[in-house]
Structure 1
Amino acid sequence: MSGGWNTIESDAGVFTYLIEKLGVKDVQFEELLTLEPDELRQLGKLYGVIFLFKYPTGEARSDTPKDGSYDYEAANNLFFAAQTIQNACGTQALISVLLNKDGEVDIGKELRDFKEFTGDFPPEFRGDALSNSDVIREVHNSFARSSPFIDETQRTATEDDDIYHFIAYTSVNNNLYELDGLQPAPISHGSCTVHEFPDKIIPVLQRRIERYPPTEIRFNLLACVQDLRIRARELGDEEALEAEEQKRNEWLWENALRRHNFVGFVGELLKGVVKDRLSQGEGAYDKWVEDAKAKTRKRAEDKKKQGIPGDDID
């Protein structure tokens, strides 16, 4: 059995560079801020969307989905894998889109070999193969946020945790499919060509969101599209191309920060501050501590005057 899978963020920059590292070419992810077909159309070539939502724990599986219908036969004609492990559903969702767009998209050698290897497997075995893929797992984990205090590979969700889940939607064989590894089969939402996808996916997403209370706003939607720099070059739009290149640079910087462990840096910084205080002469350190306590007391007193509860400082 392979090692564990760490949690990754639902972030366009994370997903874009993750698939690039897997060998996928000329594809990126864009976060959508509205549920409008026009926003999807403006992105050019659209391969699918990935939806993140709070998973309703304790909900029993039904013989029929709440929306759409199970298409058991479709699992033989498209790529669909059961989710067999925790924390991998984001990568599984993006792979579900890309492997069903092989031909439209250059998915690279690693994913193409994986697709061919698992082609005749049932969904459960495909899920196991994905879970045990060292290449995909290592790329996935390389985009996890560094934390010296939490071992995500050993963490098990409890009933008190908020659990979030990724699922993919894409048009395959002129049908709109929901690909959720926690379901027994792909869910069909009816006929849908690639060109109709922007119009037909929005009502499906709206119906899913309407299952939640109006106060629930923790949703995230990412579109899987052709690299937007390609269209900018084709149109000769230098301003758009520059904006896309700047966005890529920002994504690279953010991904580098995610992977970096700052504990050592903070420790050295604190040691430097303490050393500087001690070098100021005898009693400087004690004065520094007392000054800090006095400032904390003052903040606590100011909060009490404003009617804000706070802890007493001894």
Structure 2
Amino acid sequence: MFFAAQTIQNACGTQALLSVLLNKEDEVDIGPQLKEFKEFTGAFPADLRGDVLSNSELIRDVHNSFARSSPFISEDQRSATADDDVYHFVAYTSIHNTLYELDGLQPAPISHGACSAAELPDKVIPVLQRRIARYPAHEIRFNLLAMVGDLRVRAREAGDMEALLAEERKRTGWQWENALRRHNFVGFVGELLRGVVKAKIAAGEGEYERWVGEAKERTRRRAEERRKKGGAAEDTDA
């Protein structure tokens, strides 16, 4: 069984996918690079596997091609801890007819009893329900992702051109969404504001305070205008 500890933050999604994929080598062609990675780390303990995984140039490049760009977070800043469990992806899969929970923040795989691959959709439901029940009843921030074969292959085999076109359109949309996600202008805006503040302070004593005061006054006027418009609308409705 392949199981790796999560040793860096913000990598749980990629690691959960790999936890499933690398345990399905008999069913899925994982390619020579992932196969070589699995064979190389086969005798390693879980923590060392996690280190090798996080230092794999191939895996890191693919992960970064989908990850949200952020100027404030570095994948190498700190190790993952139990505190990262708040928003965390965990893999559930059938291995050797047993349902396993593969969570990189846990010390080892967790067995949930006998389960064949065909039984997985039914037997994983109560396990997920128990996990969700650990959180407050009002909590709704949960995601469930299923790893399936490429639906385009199935559509081609069935000769379903409509389904094939629909899948191709999905991937075009995904590429566009990913391109947008990769652009993050927070860092640029932050540097721009620093430059403006620095210029205002350098302009002379009191200039910075005057600038802040003018901004507050403009904000106050806009808020007052909105209140007046809101009152007018209420009078009209009455």
Please tell me the TM-score bracket, short chain as reference: 0.7 to 0.9
**One-letter amino acid of the structure 1 residue matched with residue 8 of structure 2:** I
Structure ranking higher in helix proportion: 2
Alignment equivalent of 1:86, drawn from 1, 6, 9:
9
Are 1:212 and 2:150 counterparts? Answer: no
Indicate the residue corresponding to 1:19 in structure 2.
Answer: none
Structure 1 equivalent of residue 173 of structure 2: 250
Question: Matches of residues 217-256 of structure 1 in structure 2 within 5 Å?
Answer: 217-256=140-179
1:134 aligns with 2:62: no
Write the distance in 1 (CA, Å) between the matches of 2:83 and 2:58.
33
Tell me the equivalent position of 1:115: 38
Show CA shifts across 1:8-40 (max 9, x none).
xxxxxxxxxxxxxxxxxxxxxxxxxxxxxxxxx
Partner residue, 1:103: 26
Q: Secondary structure in 2 aligned to 1:121?
A: coil
* Matched residue type, 1:136: I
Letter in 2 for 1:152: S
The yes-or-no answer on 1:175 pairing with 2:98 is yes
Q: 1:80 to 1:253 in 2, by over 3 A?
A: same
Which whole-Å CA distance do the structure 2 matches of 1:115 and 1:222 have between them?
A: 23
- The CA distance in 2 between the partners of 1:230 and 1:245, in whole Å, is 11
Q: Name the structure 2 match of 1:38.
A: none
The match for 2:194 is: none
What is residue 56 of structure 1 aligned with on the other side? none
SS of match in other structure, 2:90:
strand
> Where does structure 2 lack aligned partners over 5 or more consecutive residues?
190-214, 232-238
Rounded Cα–Cα distance in structure 2 between residues aligned with 1:247 and 1:110: 27
For structure 1, which runs of at least 5 residues remain unmatched after alignment? 1-77, 267-291, 308-314
Describe the superposition over 1:163-210 as per-residue Cα deviations: whole angstroms up to 9, x where unpaired: 411110001111110001111111111111111111111111111111
Q: Which has the larger radius of gyration?
A: 2
* Structure 1 residue ranges, 4+ long, deviating more than 3 angstroms after superposition: 153-163, 260-266, 292-299, 302-307
1:120-159 deviation per Cα after TM superposition (whole angstroms, max 9, x unaligned):
1121221121122222112212222234x42434656999
Q: TM-score, normalised by structure 1?
A: 0.58
Structure number with greater CO (CA < 8 Å, separation at least 6) is 1
Partner deviation per Cα, 1:45-78 (whole Å, 9 max, x = no partner): xxxxxxxxxxxxxxxxxxxxxxxxxxxxxxxxx1
The one-letter code matched in structure 2 to 1:126 is R
Q: What corresponds to 1:7 in structure 2? A: none
Q: Higher strand proportion, which one?
A: 1
Aligned residue pair count: 204
| Structure 2 residue 90 is the aligned partner of structure 1 residue 152 | no
Per-residue deviation at 1:225?
Answer: 0.3
Question: Quick one: percent identity of the two aligned structures?
Answer: 73
Question: What's the TM-score once normalised by structure 2's chain length?
Answer: 0.75
